[in-house]
Amino acid sequence: MSKKKYDEKYIADVQKKLNEVMYQEPCPQDWSQFCLNVRQVMIAAATIYGNSTDEDKHKLRGLLQELVVDCVIPNLQEWDIYYSKKQNQE
């Protein structure tokens, strides 16, 4: 099976968009925004890459674990610290 060849301009545009999404600053700190984004990412990944084989499910689990460990947990910790400080000031 040969790999599909993509247009260089298309790949450059895709890379630019991926960089904007993955490395945007600042990242949203609102609970509803990043919680919804994790859900949307998982739905999109399952739709695009599949969710029917054991291998698909294993890869989706890996993606979810990465999102939770790298995004959700640090944001929850920061969110908790922010609101704990805010409540102590009141």
Domain boundaries, the chain: 29-89
For residue 69, the Cα-to-chain-centroid distance in whole angstroms is: 11
Among 59, 33, 35, residue whose Cα is nearest residue 46: 59
What are the tokens at 87? 């409540």
The predicted pLDDT at position 9 comes to 92
Q: For residue range 18-63, what is the model confidence (pLDDT) as tens digits?
A: 777 666 666 555 555 555 577 788 888 899 988 888 888 888 888 8
Of the listed ranges 10-14, 48-52, 55-59, 70-74, the least confidently predicted one is 70-74
The predicted pLDDT at position 37 comes to 72
Are 42 and 64 within 8 A, CB to CB?
A: yes
